[in-house]
Copies of this chain bind each other. A is one copy, B any other.
Amino acid sequence: QETVCIFGTGDFGRSLGLRLLQSGYNVVYGSRDPKNSLLLPKGSKVMAHAAAACEAHVIFVAVQREHYGFLKSLASTLAGKVLIDVSNNLRRGLYPESNAEYLSSLVPGATVVKAFNTISAWALQSGGLDANRQVLICGDRADAKQQVVDIAQSLGFTVLDRGSLRAAAELEDLPLQLFPLWRLPFCIAFCLTAFIFFYALTRDVIYERVTNGKDNAFRIMISLANRVFPIVSLVMLALCYLPGALAGFLQLYNGTKYRRFPDWLDRWMLCRKQLGLLALAFGFLHVLYTLVIPIRYYVRYRINVYVISLVKDNKTYEFDNTVAWRHDAYISMGILGFGLFVLLGITSLPSVSNSLNWREFSFVQSKLGYMTLLLCTAHTFLYGWDKFLRTSSYRWWMPPSYMLSLVVPCVVLILKLILIMPCVDRKVTRIRQGWE
């Protein structure tokens, strides 16, 4: 049974120690105050730092970087040992060099390995299966790294080697990231939302106010929201399939798949998942906003007033078969489209996508994805119907907002249509299989 030393009896040190003990290691803590061992896992020993260091060859430094100072005085004891730096910083760019390199400069005789910083104390404690299970490590000496790999593997983690200690800065950045891949899609969603909102506000509220003097402002809460959300959803759904189509044309043009895509296209392709999920979130809100329509005070008021007027004016009330068809058709398309949309969402859950093979995954994401786009576009077309022909729809020369939303989807669908024409398709397939 190997002995491992841990400096620092804080949250991380304690959780790590417990886990090491469970996996059959002996654990020795190095602490400023060896008496105070109340919360430490049973079976571990606590000593002063120097004494603890002597007991083991591998030492975890579970102390904040700010307090590394005391290690300098231990430099001679630590010479020849493997120091594992697990530390993170509170913000990026706090220090010029990475914590691991700083540690290495403090104790030049020891070999420093950066590892475990992406694992939270909580993850260590709750068993490891339930939290990020990948330990990233880096360091300059292969044998020291191997020892850390062995420990990590016996704790049940998988290990990914990221190279020399120079990579430490990168590893220290990882836990500070906040949804890096979602940033661009969020920006797009935000800008689109803002634009459509002001567009619809102008058409539906301000126009009404200026020309008829009517105060429609309460419509912002639901009517406008239910105009903005579906449009953003549809556009983002289309944006998510646009780069694939562009890539196809680019490959046709290049005649090979080995030419790199331009950078912007590469970046765009990498955030399609996020674009799609945001589109789903907006679509979800659209559905909820639609389903509450009949319980709105305003809608009930309007319907009642309409019925009363019908009775009072003794008008006949004709049933319009075409409207019934069209109305039911667009709602039905919406529902089916949304069903497929949710299915796309479900298959992008990591655990589901892992259990699909590549062919199944791209069947769902690519084939059914285009089907979703088609259904949603048809839904919007049928919703609009002949509105675009009526001049009353163009207020201050602004077309109805749903028309704006149709531009990108139509472009994508047309591009795709071209790509799946047999002659083009054959050529694309040949290119993609590397037959030159």
Digit string of A270-291 for contact with B (CB within 8 Å is 1, else 0)?
0000000000010011011111
List chain B residues, Cβ under 8 A from A24.
142, 145, 161
Rounded to whole Å, the gap between the CB of A368 and the closest CB of chain B is: 12
A327 touches B298 (CB 8 A): yes
A66 and B218 alpha carbons, distance in the complex (Å)? 67
* A74 touches B (CB below 8 Å): no
* A68 touches B (CB below 8 Å): no
A339-B284, A434-B10 given; A328·B296 CB < 8 A:
yes
A-B contact pairs, 17 of them (CB 8 A): A64-B433, A127-B160, A129-B355, A130-B350, A131-B353, A132-B355, A132-B357, A156-B158, A175-B357, A225-B332, A285-B335, A287-B288, A288-B335, A289-B335, A298-B319, A304-B306, A308-B310
* Segment 142-166 of A: residues with Cβ below 8 Å from B: 142, 145, 156, 158-163
Extra contacts besides A24-B142, A298-B319 (4): CB < 8 Å:
A90-B433, A129-B354, A132-B356, A294-B295
Q: Which of B178, B312, B363 contacts A178 (CB 8 A)?
A: B363
Q: Which of B23, B156, B321, B332 contacts A222 (CB 8 A)?
A: B332
Consensus secondary structure, chain A interface: helix
A288-B339, A357-B132 given; A328·B160 CB < 8 A:
no
Query: A176 — nearest CB in chain B belongs to which residue?
Result: B359
* A307 touches B (CB below 8 Å): yes
A354 touches B131 (CB 8 A): yes
A290 and B293 alpha carbons, distance in the complex (Å)? 12
Rounded to whole Å, the gap between the CB of A421 and the closest CB of chain B is: 20
Digit string of A16-32 for contact with B (CB within 8 Å is 1, else 0)?
00000011100000000
What interface size band does chain A fall in? Answer: 35 or more
A296 touches B331 (CB 8 A): yes
A39-B260, A300-B303, A354-B133 given; A288·B328 CB < 8 A:
no
B133 touches A64 (CB 8 A): no
The complex is assembled from copies of this chain, and their number is 3
Rounded to whole Å, the gap between the CB of A349 and the closest CB of chain B is: 6
* A215 touches B (CB below 8 Å): yes
A221 touches B328 (CB 8 A): yes
List chain B residues, Cβ under 8 A from A324.
218, 297-298, 301
* A323 touches B (CB below 8 Å): yes
* A60 touches B (CB below 8 Å): no
Rounded to whole Å, the gap between the CB of A215 and the closest CB of chain B is: 7
Q: Which of B66, B130, B305, B335 contacts A354 (CB 8 A)?
A: B130
A222-B332, A331-B296, A355-B130 given; A339·B161 CB < 8 A:
no
B23 touches A327 (CB 8 A): no
List chain B residues, Cβ under 8 A from A179.
360
* A118 touches B (CB below 8 Å): yes
Query: A321 — nearest CB in chain B belongs to which residue?
Result: B218
A332 touches B433 (CB 8 A): no
A163 touches B131 (CB 8 A): no
List chain B residues, Cβ under 8 A from A350.
130, 351-352, 354-355
A298 and B336 alpha carbons, distance in the complex (Å)? 20
Rounded to whole Å, the gap between the CB of A330 and the closest CB of chain B is: 9
Rounded to whole Å, the gap between the CB of A208 and the closest CB of chain B is: 14
